[in-house]
């Protein structure tokens, strides 16, 4: 009944390691969108204290992106997926690197957040294909 | 460009307290769906060790529901929202209670998870309306 | 026997979600007093590295205030309390907002910490009354 | 002004490592009181799922006791205190052991929680004396 | 001077994402050894409360193994390493799966902990080779 | 079999509070080496954002040093150890202070990290002796 409120996102998915079986790249994407929004706010704000707060929070949000992607890589994706998508290991590895020191943790540049979002979108595309195949 | 992969969920929203401005009840919902899936798995599994693991994880997931809803209540919703939706305080209060000891933390009953999901759906409905109004 | 050491605070109270039944607004207050002390120290110290450390720690302490107050709102207070104290929802909502970006997280101004402490004191007053009534 | 609400606990004290200078053994005591309350509840409840939840939460609360006491030992107490109270090292060491595997973590026996509370009270007595001396 | 105390482990290595440049598979190994020790203790102990505590702790230790290995995979290993060791992606993926639900989280069997330790040893071997090559 | 890969560190040791019986001062040392590496990197880098990231991470790593040492003090060391090594209490207390505000948390000076490492080395020396005696 209450399902209709969520109509556009019928496939509920995410994450713990019981496993509950619920996985969703949206978790990583939401954090990456947050990083992009943080970058924008910092670009429009000259208060040095605000920049420090942004750095603290961007560090946390980037770490969450890494953790959500690692969970997908280890807990959701199985050997047949890696066989069918030979680029998948490299893709997740690059995406997690992009959420680290050489990526969003180390930069306030919005374009870096965009690169991260693009990688997450690629992972999400594969994720959605594997969901439909199962 | 990569946005097309996410077509059905155009409004990206969630959570930190910079604030980045990104909020999304989907975060609470995903955790509640996880709880429901855990309840189902426990109903189909007689291994006592599995039940203990499920209890540990359900405790964590329920706590995450509470935290995601608290963030919406404090950080996203503003005085005009509470004025327009006089039931909002009670709704969020009941939803967070439903993710606690008297709700999903204290029960493996799938119907309790359904009650929690229904409350989150009600909150999400108000959330979506306030997003469109802004 | 050892109780006499604690004479002035006979009513021990706090917080987990078993629930153990122990609740105490002192937990939120202690963190808010810490924030006020941090603000004072920063006002007396020109070292930029110190200010960064203070920002990191103030962010954590403010978050703890929010969490302690959320626990009271969801886990301690019950429907009859909200009926008897119609201002209680708004009061806790405002207090948690005051521990966030628009409050102590976003400011090193001691008067903001004082406002937060005043709100916590109002919550504590209601808390003490409900304890005596039970 | 709002201070009068807190009349019996004038000395606000606790904990972070800026340091803010606020320290209070009440933090450890509140968690230990929680453990005692958990033990009582378990003694009155035969539900095995409840006992598991209690074990999870008692593990966390015991850990918090250890952490609060460690903070006092390292951050609050200074060489002159250890000189004046030669038993202080042993006292805190025993108290933290009592919150571990050989103490409240490893037992649902209320008397173990009482032993822990007694040790915390001894630490608090020294703490209060050192506060008055300063 | 004090280095001589650590003689056998001259290469100090580990982990954060500044990055500090310090990495060490010993961190994952220590947690896995802990899991093995937990399995042994549970095999020798019939107390059901002890088994619950062991489950709680084994869940945490297994999660730490996953996190330490993920950090190596994303932060330490670089494209040339993955080129030189084409099995490396699969190896880390299998190792992290072995620390999850289908591995040490889901089992009290000591042989599962041994399998995990063997995988970590394979990763460590590659790690040591890459350290010497640099 | 896989043990040969770890030949130089035969004595596996670390930490949880089951207790698993595995303890290792290497955990504290690795974090302290990380702090030293962070100090070096900051000395060579004028980017203020980098310094803020370093401060955030140094705060975390220093806290980990404290926690690892506290675990040794409370969980590993027993009354006979404190009797045989009367300086042990003071040694661990000083080491944990050196990882705090008056030590590595409050300073980017590499020599402070060296002092901390030296203290950890002293603790490790005693640790190794007690391991051999048991
Ligand atoms: Ni899950
Ligand atoms: Ni946000
Ligand atoms: Ni409680
Ligand atoms: Ni403090
Ligand atoms: Ni590092
Ligand atoms: Ni252990």
Nearest to F65 by CA among F22, F36, F86, F85: F36
Of all residues in chain B, the percent with pLDDT exceeding 70 is 90
User: Mean of the per-residue pLDDT values for chain A?
Assistant: 90
In contact, B74 and C97? CB cutoff 8 Å: yes
The rounded mean pLDDT for chain B is 90
Could you tell me where the DSSP H helices lie in C72-108? 79-84, 88-98
How confident is the model over F4-27, as pLDDT tens digits? 222 223 233 457 999 999 999 999
- Using a CB–CB cutoff of 8 Å, tell me whether E53 touches chain D: yes
Question: Which pLDDT does position C88 carry in this prediction?
Answer: 98
Give tens-digit pLDDT for A5-43: 222 222 334 579 999 999 999 999 999 999 999 999 999
> Domain B25-133 belongs to what topology?
1.20.120
Say yes or no to pLDDT of F30 above 90. yes
**Token pair 């490893």 is at which residue?**
D106
Class of residue A81 by CB neighbours under 10 A (exposed 0-12, middle 13-18, buried 19+): middle
- Percent of chain A topping pLDDT 70: 90
> Closest to F61 (Cβ–Cβ): which among E16, E26, E31?
E16
Partners of D50 on chain B (C-beta within 8 Å) are 106
**Interface list for C 92-131 with A (CB within 8 A):** 105-106, 108
pLDDT value at residue B107: 98
C18 touches chain B (CB under 8 A): yes
For residue B26, the chain A residues in CB contact (below 8 A) are: 6, 9, 26, 30
Q: Supply the pLDDT for residue C6.
A: 29
What DSSP string runs through chain D?
A: -GGGGGGGG-S--B--SS----B-THHHHHHHHHHHHHHHHHHT---HHHHHHHHHHHHHHHHHHHHHHHHIIIII--HHHHHH-TTHHHHHHHHHHHTSTTTTTT---HHHHHHHHHHHHHHHHHHHHHHHH-
* Percentage of chain E modeled with pLDDT above 90: 87
Chain A residue closest in CA terms to C106:
A50
For B117-128, the pLDDT digits (tens) are: 999 999 999 999
The pLDDT of residue E12: 36
Which residues have C-beta within 8 Å of that of residue C98, sequence separation ≥ 6? Answer: C104, C112, C115, C116, C119
Indicate contact of A with C: 3+ CB pairs under 8 A: yes
Q: If you write DSSP's letter for every residue of chain A in order, what string do you get? A: -GGGGGGGG-S--B--SS----B-THHHHHHHHHHHHHHHHHHT---HHHHHHHHHHHHHHHHHHHHHHHHIIIII--HHHHHH-TTHHHHHHHHHHHTSTTTTTT---HHHHHHHHHHHHHHHHHHHHHHHH-
CATH number assigned to the domain covering F24-133: 1.20.120.400
Q: Which residues of A touch B22 (CB under 8 A)?
A: 30, 33-34, 37
Q: Of the ligands numbered here, which is closest to the C-alpha atom of D24?
A: 4
* Predicted local distance difference test score (pLDDT) of residue D29: 96
Determine the 3-state secondary structure of C23 from DSSP: strand
Q: Show the tokens assigned to E3.
A: 């280095």
Rounded distance between C-alpha atoms, residue F130 and residue F91, angstroms: 16
Q: And the tokens for A94?
A: 């690059």
Residues 6+ away with beta carbon under 8 Å from C7: none
Chains that touch E (3 or more CB pairs under 8 A): A, B, D, F
Mean pLDDT of chain F: 90
Domain residue extents for chain C: 21-133
pLDDT at residue number D134: 76
Q: For residues A71 and D62, what is the distance between their CA atoms, to the nearest angstrom? A: 29
Up-side HSE of residue E119: CA atoms within 13 Å toward CB?
A: 26
Between positions 25 and 44 of B, the ones with CB within 8 A of A are 26-27, 29-31, 33-35, 37-38, 41
Contact criterion met (CB < 8 Å) for E29 and F12? yes
What's the average model confidence in pLDDT over C91-101? 98
Q: What confidence tier does D26 reach under pLDDT thresholds 50, 70, 90?
A: very high
Q: Which residues of E78-104 are buried (b: 16+ CB within 10 A; e: fewer)?
A: eeebbeebeebbebbbbbbbbbbbebb
The count of CB pairs under 8 A between chains D and F is 54
Report the mean per-residue pLDDT for chain C: 90
What architecture is the C21-133 domain classified under in CATH? Up-down Bundle (1.20)
Asked if the C-beta of D50 comes within 8 angstroms of chain F's C-beta atoms, the answer is: no
Q: What is the pLDDT of residue D5?
A: 29
User: Is D14 in contact with C33 (Cβ distance < 8 A)?
Assistant: yes
Per-residue pLDDT at E4 exceeds 80: no
Q: Looking at residue C34, what is its pLDDT?
A: 96
Residue E23 sits at φ, ψ, to 5 deg, of -135, 150
Poorest-pLDDT segment among A14-23, B106-115, C84-93: A14-23
Q: What is the mean pLDDT of residues A58-81?
A: 97
CA distance C79 to chain D (A): 23
What pLDDT was estimated at residue E15?
Answer: 76
Using a CB–CB cutoff of 8 Å, tell me whether C55 touches chain D: no
């Amino acid at each position: 009944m209450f399902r209709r409120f969520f109509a556009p996102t019928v496939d509920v998915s995410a994450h713990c390691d019981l496993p509950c079986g619920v996985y969703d790249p949206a978790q990583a994407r939401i954090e990456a969108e947050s990083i992009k929004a943080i970058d924008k706010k910092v670009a429009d704000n000259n208060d040095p204290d605000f920049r420090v707060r942004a750095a603290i929070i961007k560090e946390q949000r980037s770490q969450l992106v890494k953790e959500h992607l690692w969970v997908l890589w280890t807990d959701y994706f199985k050997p047949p997926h890696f066989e069918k998508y030979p680029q998948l290991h490299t893709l997740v590895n690059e995406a997690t690197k992009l959420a680290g020191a050489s990526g969003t943790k180390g930069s306030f540049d919005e374009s870096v957040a965009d690169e991260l979002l693009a990688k997450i979108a690629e992972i999400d595309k594969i994720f959605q294909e594997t969901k439909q195949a199962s």
